[in-house]
Amino acid sequence: MKIGAAMFFTDYSMAPGELARALEERGFESLWAPEHSHIPLSRRSPFPAGGEIPKEYYDVMDPFVSLAAAAAATTRLKVGTGVCLVVQRDPIQTAKLVASLDQVSGGRFLFGVGNGWNAEEMANHGTAFATRHRLARERIEAMKVIWTRSRPEYHGEFVDFDPIMTWPKPVQKPHPPVIVGGAFPYGARRALRYGDGWMPHRRRPAYADVAALIPEFRRMEAEAGRSVPITIWGASEDLDLLRRDRDLGVERVVVQFPSAGADAVLPALDRWAAVIARLAA
């Protein structure tokens, strides 16, 4: 089982390249960057984890810029969006960002996507909360067409364009894996419909025991006639739980580190390096 790391990169955290190098040296498989374009001050949408929204949600850098810096500083570490809010991004421009990052990283990009929870944030991008799931599906479908065809076109309810030409195409074929974040069962169903992986969040109160949901997810896979790898977000330094995830066939877990400097983060990375070694033994 692979171990990934995530951080909300800010102007007061470790720099993306600095953290990426430290992760690669310690045996981590991937680095993930979350996304929020902004946080509206109205605060009508409740924070899914409960309580107040952490400061780093307001301050986080653009994930594609952060991950490009991380990729440039490493040679093996994979880089992923965790998650890209596709309902707040133009699909043609986002398809170019994904392909460009896959090119400059040498095929190391993981496209984690999510449909979001902050209705006011979406509204500022012209996105209706009630139809965000259909919008996300169409935008991802359209991006797949862009990545895989020389003269792509797409005609849907929300996304509609006649044949275009756009390069570069991704290094990974047919495209970087689209790893769909979201709760069970709806996020899992979306992952099986148009994703290349499912990424549930262990730190959300509504479905903290992700491992208990995996048998039902396997049944859903059988019904859908396809299977996708599982990435669990929100890992902790619990070797027994990590071994249970591994034995259940989980491909990857992701641990989130605080938006802090090297003096606070590096000791935690060292502890995790020991966990990674024990897990592999």
Confidence of residue 205 (pLDDT cuts 50, 70, 90): low
Give the sign of the dihedral formed by CA 251, CA 256, CA 262, CA 268.
negative
Q: Spell out the alpha helix ranges (H) of the chain.
A: 16-25, 55-59, 63-72, 91-104, 119-123, 132-148, 186-194, 214-224, 239-247, 262-280
65-69, 161-165, 205-209: least confidently modelled range: 205-209
For 27-58, the pLDDT digits (tens) are 999 999 999 999 999 889 999 988 999 999 99
Average pLDDT over residues 161-178: 98
- How much is the pLDDT for 17? 98
* Average pLDDT value over all residues in the chain: 96
For 75-127, the pLDDT digits (tens) are 999 999 999 999 999 999 999 999 999 999 999 999 999 999 999 999 999 99
Confidence of residue 203 (pLDDT cuts 50, 70, 90): confident
- How much is the pLDDT for 231? 98
Tell me which residue of 191, 236, 243 sits closest to 218, measured CA to CA. 191
CATH superfamily, domain at 2-280: Luciferase-like domain (3.20.20.30)
What percent of the chain clears pLDDT 90, i.e. is strictly above it?
A: 93
In eight-state DSSP terms, residue 39 is -
Q: Where exactly are the structural domains of the chain?
A: 2-280
43-52, 166-175, 257-266: least confidently modelled range: 43-52
- How much is the pLDDT for 206? 58
Pairwise CA distance, residues 193 & 180, whole Å = 10
Confidence of residue 133 (pLDDT cuts 50, 70, 90): very high
Residue 208 has pLDDT above 70, yes or no: no
- How much is the pLDDT for 209? 83
208/163: higher pLDDT: 163
- How much is the pLDDT for 43? 83
Largest pairwise CA distance in the chain? 53
